[in-house]
Homo-oligomer: A and B are copies of this chain.
Amino acid sequence: MPSTSTHSVLLHAKDIGLTINGQSILEQVNLTISAGEIVTIVGPNGAGKSSLIKTLIGIQKPTQGRIHRKPSLTIGYMPQKLSIDDSLPLDVYRLMTLTRTASLDDAVQALARTGVEHLIHRSVQNLSGGEFQRVMLARALLAKPDILVLDEPAQGVDFNGEVELYELIQKLRTELGCAIVMVSHDLHIVMAATDQVICLNKHICCSGHPESVSQHPEFTQLFGKEFAPALAVYTHEHDHTHDLGDCGGHHHD
């Protein structure tokens, strides 16, 4: 069983399944997120990570299963892909205060944490890819939500920025006490800064503490042995059997 901490449970997903146009995208996903926890979802492209996140925060309705959210849970979300139409004059400050209010000072401070405080009055449509990503991250921080949900936050962020970003996420948890759910492909860094890793490939292949997960055969099948230092093997509880080729491919049934 995933180690549910003693903290209060913010969100609990039970037997989630998602099928779009007859195509199964998620199957039998069970998940619990508690306050102050950093959960990282890893998995190959097309594994359903973004879909899972959207289902958890209520953008996408699951076709099976149920999701319990703590009443009046506030969510900060940073989508994987976002494009803002040119017809809308929108500067960075206004984007950051879109759904919540914040003073200019607070906004600058949040931007400073992601290294882009000089962009505060720039038009969002003119930002470079990495600048936009940093702004969106600062925006998510600013809201001080109960859960911060980040879909590939480091995508397009430069080398230094990426390192700083994961340090920042660590810090945030202690400062704000919020839970952080993120998707990332950067296994090096993820492994170092995560409480719970969920390895997804349509269903949850394995989950648990980073050290244990990295030893799991399905994990090494997906990501190679490079990330298998040495520690206890965590066994997940599926009611079906796995052969080795199972989770590595794209078609798991």
Check B129 against A45 for contact (C-beta < 8 Å). yes
| Residue contact B223 to A160, C-beta cutoff 8 Å | yes
Among A50, A126, A129, chain B packs the most CB atoms within 10 A around the CB of: A129
Given that A83-B83, A129-B80, A155-B155 are contacting pairs, would A162 and B134 also be in contact in the complex, using a CB cutoff of 8 Å?
no
Are A45 and B83 in touch, CB under 8 angstroms?
A: no
State which residues 40-69 of A face B: CB under 8 Å. Answer: 43-47, 49-51
Residues in B with CB closer than 8 Å to A129 are 45, 50, 80-81, 152, 155
The answer to whether B158 and A155 have CB atoms under 8 Å apart is: no
How many copies are assembled? 2
CA distance A81 to B116 in the complex (A): 20
Chain B residue, CB-CB nearest to A44: B158
Contact B130 A160 (CB under 8 A): no
Pair A159/B187 contact, Cβ less than 8 Å: yes
Please tell me if the beta carbons of B118 and A156 are within 8 angstroms of each other in the complex: no
Chain B residues whose C-beta falls within 8 Å of the C-beta of A49 in the assembled complex:
128
Assess the B81–A45 pair: CB atoms within 8 A.
no
Asked if residues B44 and A160 are in contact (CB atoms below 8 Å), the reply is yes
**Chain B contacts for A152, CB-based, 8 A:** 129, 156
Bound CA–CA A185/B157 (angstroms):
7
Near B by CB (< 8 A), chain A positions 150-187 give: 152, 155-162, 185-187
Contact with B along A17-51 (1 / 0, CB 8 A): 00010000000000000000000000111110111
Chain B hits for A44, CB < 8 A: 130, 158, 160-161
**Assembly CA distance A45 to B111 (angstroms):** 14
State the CA gap A47–B131 with chains docked (Å).
10
**7 new A-B contacts at CB < 8 Å, known A45-B134, A152-B156, A159-B186:** A45-B156, A46-B127, A118-B251, A129-B152, A156-B185, A158-B185, A159-B187
23 contacts between A and B (CB under 8 A): A44-B130, A44-B158, A44-B161, A45-B128, A45-B130, A45-B131, A45-B156, A45-B157, A45-B158, A47-B128, A49-B128, A50-B128, A80-B129, A81-B83, A81-B129, A118-B250, A129-B155, A152-B156, A155-B155, A157-B185, A159-B185, A159-B186, A160-B224
